[in-house]
Structure 1
């Protein structure tokens, strides 16, 4: 493709090489579009023909510009987070930009958490964590876009607080925001004609405007890249092992001090000091866990990473960052969180350490469970 061709839907430059980047269209579709003089990027094509929204990612500068725009409008903000990766899917500094606009916080992917968890308790926990980040959501609810759970309730709440205003839906990449919006469109059109889906005016590179029946719009914004998530350091094959696709089955380990757990080769937990205790691990079921002595842990990792300790696979080991250590002194029941991977619940006081690829955040929070 020597010439520059642009999508007639959003104006982005068409490219046929990278399906994860803006402007992608398959080569065959590109040639067909040229012949028919109707050249769309894949995102606009799916939107036009199937009413399906595909997420795109923003750069930091684009994101700041978008946030400043939201702050100047009178709108309702719907902030979608991944309840399994709550810490890793919060938007840094969101509270500084939304101004006086009300926020609804939606915890998506509730289907991957154990069914034994009580929703009211989780919602209260989300409110407390949001307050710590400076956010004051007027409503917090849980959904599963993948399983269409509680979408009708979300629509009712949006209508309750919208009061004729536009609605901005924001979230970092990988929270399932596009799936959620597709469910909203699907359910709303079937239930009460809330959204007109036959056309999407104002479909631009940075956002998609979905008309509401009173003249306002629901605005889907691109996913914001949160660079501290594990997903940005793994290939597609490895990502399938660490991103839960179904309900996770917690695993509990009785550990003595000076014992270590490896989570594949991508993270590590050290129990350094304290009395013998139980530690419950909340990770994707497919990720293998290995226990060893802390004194041997470094050599064990060097010997087995990429083979016994996968992911990363041997092919991806060369590009995989080194593991970085974070030490914490625990005073109360807490979670040690690896952004984008999961967490470990620590029940008794002690000293522990978490290791993750350089760039991935590791932190302590009040226990979710």
Structure 2
């Protein structure tokens, strides 16, 4: 850690150890910056030279301070979530912090969901789930940050709902928030004049302000780490396996009671009791699904974890958290959701169990499709 050196762009404390944390600067860039007197963190450097915002993550305490700052402002809150991992990317309790500020909810990664899922149905589903969590968004929009065909619609909605105020863009890590903001930057003139501004007083938070024509700003905030996502237990190679890059192809399995599905070595689904029925798996296309008998499932997992059941990889299996069991009685069509990995649609009635690494949520929701 390099103490007492701060980025002149955003005010973050400079550090050279962790690329994922705020203030990261490569050692070579640190030395050059100290020579020239222009010391920028990598995040600010890439914004200034490439008009590209990189996501940065906060601790829980830092994020609470950020939410209080947002709540005390008079602004529009744009909350970006991952449609594929809605429950894992929603900010629990956000409604308690934003005060009277309106919230515009933007669901990202719509391009990876099956095209059979209609936009109107998905938008309504998101609105209902947000309401259940206490959020009352003024509107719900869908996009794909990589190819935002509806970027102008998003910008028009932001302009409409901000009503001459600043805009805070918030979200957990890995939802594509900064990718979306990069597209907004690229779509606007005067890009070379963008500068980063100082951190919130008394903290090591940084924010990046994108100037609007009327003197107000779109303010990008670092992402919060959501600790119940599968992604936090995997390396970068395995993240590429579980994070869908293109449209998901649902996989259907006809199961009898007392049969089990393994989603690689990352999660497990037990069909405990009920009539023979089809179960539809919605996971990234690179995730391999293995079927076995429930009675032999424990033995199967111990034998093949890190081999046939990869990820986790063989050299990581000893450090990978144990799988924890969540049993559910399903009476109507529902999804068993493995946070950050995907879901299995259950027609029911049935008694099932979902297993996930300790610390990762498995929950039941009203069927999305």
User: What TM-score, normalized by structure 1, do the two folds share?
Assistant: 0.95
CA distance in 2, matches of 1:271, 1:201: 53
1:269 is aligned to 2:269: yes
Give the match for residue 360 of structure 1: 360
Counterpart in 1 of 2:117?
A: 117
Asked if the contact 2:44–2:196 (Cα under 8 Å) also holds between the matched residues in 1, the reply is: no
Contact kept, 8 Å, 2:51 with 2:191, in 1: the verdict is no
Aligned to 2:60: 60
- Could you tell me whether the CA contact under 8 Å between 1:235 and 1:316 is conserved in 2? no
- Summarize deviations over 1:323-362 as a string: whole Å, max 9, x none: 0000000011000001100001111211000000000000
Distance 1:168 1:2 in 2: 30
Summarize the Cα distance change of 1:60–1:347 in structure 2 as closer, same or farther, 3 Å threshold.
same
Query: Residue 198 of structure 1: which of 182, 186, 193 is its match?
Result: 193
Question: Deviation of residue 53 (structure 1)?
Answer: 0.9
Q: Residue 142 of structure 1 aligns with which residue?
A: 142
CA distance in 2, matches of 1:93, 1:154: 24
Q: Deviations over 1:236-291 (max 9, x none)?
A: 11111111111111101001000000001010000000100001000011111100
Structure 2 partner of 1:94 = 94
- Is 2:236 the partner of 1:236? yes
> 2 CA distance for matches of 1:105 and 1:353?
32
SS in 2 for 1:318: coil
Unaligned runs of 5+ in 1: none
Q: Which residue of 2 aligns with 1:306?
A: 306
Helix, strand or coil for the counterpart of 2:137? coil
* Residue number in structure 2 paired with 1:319: 319
Q: Which residue of 2 aligns with 1:342?
A: 342
What CA distance in whole angstroms lies between the structure 2 residues aligned with 1:246 and 1:53?
A: 23
Q: Measure, in 2, the Cα distance between the counterparts of 1:214 and 1:138.
A: 23
Q: Secondary structure at the match of 1:365?
A: strand
Per-residue CA deviations over 1:137-188 (Å, capped at 9, x if unaligned) read: 110010000112311110010111111011111101110100010011112x
Q: 1:43 is matched with which residue?
A: 43
Aligned to 2:164: 164
Q: Cα offset for 1:2?
A: 6.8
RMSD: 1.4
Distance of 2:192 and 2:360 partners within structure 1? 39
| Deviation readout 1:80-99 (Å, 9 max, x if unpaired) | 00000001001010111111
- Farther off after superposition, 304-313 or 57-66: 57-66
**For 2:316, what is the secondary structure of its paired residue?**
helix
TM-score, with length taken from structure 2: 0.95
Q: Secondary structure at the match of 2:315?
A: helix
Determine the structure 2 residue equivalent to 1:7: 7
SS at match of 2:364: strand
CA distance in 2, matches of 1:38, 1:2: 16
> Cα offset for 1:217?
1.1
| 1:4 shift after superposition | 4.8
Instruction: Please give the per-residue CA displacement for 1:61-85, whole angstroms capped at 9, x wherever unaligned.
Output: 1111111121222111111000000
Question: For residues 348 and 220 of structure 2, what CA distance do their matches in structure 1 show?
Answer: 43
CA offset at residue 201 of structure 1?
4.8
SS of equivalent residue, structure 1 residue 245: coil
After the TM superposition, list the runs of 4 or more consecutive aligned residues in structure 1 that deviate by more than 6 angstroms.
none
SS in 1 for 2:318: helix
* SS, match of residue 303 in structure 1: helix
Contact 1:25 1:40 in 2 (8 A): yes
Secondary structure of 1:317's partner? coil
